[in-house]
Amino acid sequence: MALSQLLYSMENKRILETASLTSEKELEDILCENIDLLDPNWLVIGRQVITKNGKVLDLLCIDRGYKLIVLELKKDLTPREVTAQVIEYASYVSEMEQDDIGRAYQNYIEKNPNISKNLNEAFRNKFGIELDESQIDMVPKMVIVAAKMDDGTEHIIRYLRQTYDVDINILFFQIFRYGNERIMSRVWFEENVEVDTKPEYSAKWNREYYVSFGEEDTRVWSDACKYGFISAGGGKWYTQTLKMLHAGDRIWVNIPHVGYVGVGIVQADAQQASEAGWEFDGVYTNMKDMDLKGSYFHHEDDLELAEFVVPIKWIQTFPVKNAVKEMGFFGNQNTVCRPVTEKWDFTVSRLKQLWQIKDSCYEI
């Protein structure tokens, strides 16, 4: 059952006449310039992307949750073969490496000089968060954009979605004429799989905090292990979530792109590093008196950029070389968060098993 669209001018009291696109290239141009027409949470990262078998997919996007999206565009009635076509493209995208994605974006910007020259910058400008390449979901969503589609194709796609939870959808568009203007409307064939077919995970937060420890020259994990703390700095975006932590909370620490390295109990609220101090080896010690490898006292007069620390009593810590990273583990760009996802429950359960952590959570 094809979805029929109609526009009505309330002032002129008439139905707008339909119009058409000149080519699929015109449709492609429109969506590259205005991908928000399809979804405001998408960013175009490739156009006319050549797959390993030499075929060309129309558009490749990524959403703010690091999910790739393959788009196949048809300006008129779409043959049922397009379903197999978009699945084939998705299979090749799933085999891409990160450098393949980088090359696709570079090829895209060569013909679009007005967009960001760097994919990480484009992602940050679009969504206000950093792109974590390690979290990119390489199993893409599939979207067919078409004016019409035969009943057989719609039946196949509904069957794949509802029976096997395949992330495939159709976006129908229609062009109308209003005076000298052409107007585009669009409607999804079905709501996104995540909304209808796969209901949102409803379990309660497991009271376990996730921490991202961004190790670099100024922030060293061995310091954190030895003296008992976590830290973040360089901007409010990185430090503000530290305020979520209070004495008694349990944290699981992940070093981005490396893996999980420790679990411990928060001892006190966040403090600016230059003024911080806590009990170490039975003696209250100022952080400035600790023998540290990192540099934690930068921007002392600028609360926006200064380093902040949270004292931690470690249950277990591991050197970077022994970090744990497994398929399906939770990751996030925020310094601290309280995830409510199956992936986080799985991660904590698996780490408890690997590190032999007692379920009576806060027992050391």
Which of 323 and 6 is assigned the larger pLDDT? Answer: 323
For residue 310, give Cα distances in angstroms to 213, 230, 236, 240, 273. Answer: 12, 5, 15, 12, 9
The vertex-6 CA angle with 5 and 8, nearest 5°, equals 155
Q: Which residue has the higher pLDDT, 192 or 121?
A: 121
Is 149 in the same domain as 220? Answer: no
Q: Identify whether residues 102 and 176 lie together within a single domain.
A: yes
Check which CATH number belongs to the domain holding 59 and give it. Answer: 3.40.1350.10
* Residues 271-281: tens digit of each pLDDT: 999 999 999 99
Radius of gyration of the chain (CA): 25
Take residue 279 and report the two structure tokens written for it. 């009990």
Q: What is the mean pLDDT of the chain?
A: 85
Same domain, 180 and 217: no
Higher pLDDT, 2 or 235: 235
- 196 in a domain, yes or no? no
Q: Which of 138-152, 242-256, 335-349 has the lowest mean pLDDT?
A: 138-152
Q: Is the residue at 360 inside a domain? A: no
247: CATH: 3.10.590
Does residue 198 sit within a domain?
Answer: no
Domain boundary among 188, 223, 257: 188
Domain count, the chain: 2
pLDDT digits (tens, 9 = 90+) for 96-143: 887 788 889 988 888 887 787 788 888 888 887 777 777 788 889 999
Residues 213 and 350 in one domain: yes
pLDDT tens for residues 58-104? 999 998 888 899 999 987 766 678 888 899 999 989 888 877 888 89
Does the structure show a pLDDT above 80 at 15? Answer: yes
Is it the case that residue 202 has pLDDT exceeding 70?
Answer: no
Residue range(s) defining the domain that contains residue 231: 208-355
Write the burial class of residue 115 (CB in 10 Å: 0-12 exposed, 13-18 middle, 19+ buried): middle
Judge whether residue 352 has pLDDT over 70: yes
Higher pLDDT, 109 or 204: 109
Q: Which of 196-200, 240-244, 254-258, 331-335 has the lowest mean pLDDT?
A: 196-200
Q: Are residues 149 and 282 in the same domain?
A: no
| 57 bridge partner residues | 49
Tell me: do 85 and 141 sit in the same domain.
yes
Indicate if 157 and 24 belong to the same structural domain.
yes
Mean pLDDT, rounded, for 188-214? 65
Residue 34 lies in a domain: yes
Q: Encode burial over 3-41: b for 16+ CB neighbours within 10 A, e otherwise.
A: eeeeeeeeeeeeebeeeebeeeeebbeebbeebebbbeb
Would you state the structure tokens that stand for residue 105, as one six-digit string? 């974006």
Percent of the chain scoring above 90 in pLDDT: 39
Q: Say which DSSP state 324 is in.
A: B
The reply to whether 301 and 213 lie within a common domain is: yes
Q: What is the pLDDT of residues 20-40, one digit of tens each?
A: 778 788 888 888 888 988 888
pLDDT value, residue 364: 46
Residue 279 phi, psi (nearest 5)? -75, 125
- Same domain? For 45 and 178 the reply is yes
Among residues 121, 154, 188, the one where a domain terminates is: 188
Q: Token match 């349990």: residue?
A: 250
Q: Is the pLDDT of residue 190 over 80?
A: no
> Do 225 and 119 share a structural domain?
no
Q: How far is CA 348 from each of CA 137, 232, 361, rounded to the nearest angstrom? A: 20, 22, 11
Answer yes or no: is 306 within a domain: yes
| 28 and 174 belong to one structural domain | yes
Note the pLDDT of residue 361: 47
- 202 assigned to some structural domain: no
